[in-house]
Amino acid sequence: MILIENAAIATVDEAGREFTTGHVLVGDDGRIAAVGAGAATGVIGEVRRIDGRGCLVTPGLVNTHHHLYQWVTRGLALDETLFGWLTTLYPIWGRLDAGIVGAAAGAGLGWLALSGCTTSMDHHYVFPRDGGDVLAAEIEAARAIGVRFHPTRGSMDLSRKDGGLPPDHLVEDTDEALAATEAAIDRWHDPSPESMLQIAVAPCSPFSVTTRLMTESAELARRKGVRLHTHLAETDDEEEFCLRQFGCKPVEYAERVGWLGDDVWLAHGVHLDDSAIARLGATGTGVAHCPSSNARLGAGSARVRELLDHGVPVGLGVDGAASQEVSHLGAELRQALYTARLRGGPKAMNARESLRLGTIGGARCLGRQDDIGSLEVGKLADLVMWRLDGLGHDGIDDHVAALVFGPPARVDLALVGGRPIVERGELVNADADTLTATARTAHRRLLEIS
């Protein structure tokens, strides 16, 4: 068992309970056994005691949108819009292989863990024919770091010659993509409440996927009982593409092909009108909000206040490391708050709403709200202890405000199912220098062969 004592605690439960000085007891089953104010009482058995003085304990952060392979192509196409950025990078990504993807995933997930992330999805949709088992490579990297992982089996089957954006050599045959997606579910997906690995179905985007693949992917996911994910309404270019190709806006298209529902979460959702937001809320469709990536690409800013007011599940995502080189999920809390306030003023979002996006909001997007996302007795012990007593946070007496408004805080402890993955700002299961060197080698090899 692990007992964290003397810490400030933000449970992010339904009541929003917080304790200026409190405790969290983690049972030997990897679940939260107690959480409350003051000292723990009646603790019996062998227990590791951790002094949380000067720290804030929150649920672990949940990353709802990412492309881990992009870690090895950071710093490229820095001044492009999304479509220009994609067409620049597609030829490079076409040379990915399992070794490169594994190195990128190890670095990306290690960095995410150090930023307070305990659960991450990944949207992988590039499968070069001679690249080996790239999905297995990133799954192995997640196991090595120790994070809870929700990779998606993505796909693209609409090439440039057929009116799409990807080059011809980078798309899959539709039937092959569907078969490989089903095989990935059968091989990897664990639906149990304690699951460390769940697979979702994720055709890439309206401008890289045929209507048939969208429709049959939705049917496959529901037959298998897994979730659905895709990019939607990210840019004006995408909206123009949908109007030109399908005669409707992105959310209307999504509904037409069976892609609205409480088993779906969509990446970005930047360009949504009132009717689209209302439709997402009515169907329980989630949105992965990626404020830093949207800003980096100049795509615009999502209407998060309106999404929340309509009951849309909204989580945070760092997005691909090549479209958001920082990839720090803790820092995304502040970016989300600032972005909301740029749109709607200082009342548009507060620190606690931002923390909810990064925790229980993300858990809702991934369908894991019963297991993770808040500190409650019986839930999995996925939590982070942030150090807030240093110079950068001095004088901000509200601990949640210090975490969100202040500089990125050091992670003193991160637990996944009660198992430490970060301690005192260092990875427990991997060496950061080794991850860096391996990713650097992969980056150089990829650019050399490109």
User: Which candidate, 262, 167, 160, 158, places its Cα nearest to that of 213?
Assistant: 158
> What is the pLDDT, as a whole number, of residue 184?
98
Measured between alpha carbons, how far is 375 from 380 in angstroms, rounded to an integer? 8
Residue with structure tokens 């405790």? 23
Q: Are 436 and 409 in contact (CB under 8 A)?
A: no
> What is the pLDDT, as a whole number, of residue 442?
97
> What is the pLDDT, as a whole number, of residue 450?
57
CATH 2.30.42.10 fits 2-59+378-427, yes or no: no
> What is the pLDDT, as a whole number, of residue 182?
98
> What is the pLDDT, as a whole number, of residue 45?
84
Cβ burial 216-236 (10 Å sphere, 16+ → b, else e): bbbebbeebebbbbbbbbbbe
> What is the pLDDT, as a whole number, of residue 78?
97
- Bridge pairing between strands 383-387 and 55-59: antiparallel
Residue 152 has, within 13 A of its CA and on its CB side, a CA count of 31
**Which tens digit of pLDDT belongs to each residue from 40-90?**
988 888 999 999 999 999 999 999 999 999 999 999 999 999 999 999 999
Domain limits, CATH 2.30.40.10, in the chain: 2-59+378-427
DSSP 245-268: HHSS-HHHHHHHTT--STTEEEEE
Domain limits, CATH 3.20.20.140, in the chain: 61-366
The answer to whether the predicted template modeling score (pTM) of the entire model surpasses 0.95 is: yes
* Per-residue confidence in pLDDT tens, the chain, 450 aa: 999 999 999 999 999 999 999 999 999 999 999 999 999 988 888 999 999 999 999 999 999 999 999 999 999 999 999 999 999 999 999 999 999 999 999 999 999 999 999 999 999 999 999 999 999 999 999 999 999 999 999 999 999 999 999 999 999 999 999 999 999 999 999 999 999 999 999 999 999 999 999 999 999 999 999 999 999 999 999 999 999 999 999 999 999 999 999 999 999 999 999 999 999 999 999 999 999 999 999 999 999 999 999 999 999 999 999 999 999 999 999 999 999 999 999 999 999 999 999 999 999 999 999 999 999 999 999 999 999 999 999 999 999 999 999 999 999 999 999 999 999 999 999 999 999 999 999 999 999 875
* Measured CA distances, 177 to 157, 216, 239 (Å): 8, 11, 25
* Secondary structure (3-state) at 133: coil
CATH number for domain 61-366, candidates 3.40.50.300, 3.90.1640.10, 3.20.20.140, 3.40.190.290: 3.20.20.140
Measured between alpha carbons, how far is 81 from 393 in angstroms, rounded to an integer? 35
**Which tens digit of pLDDT belongs to each residue from 253-283?**
999 999 999 999 999 999 999 999 999 999 9
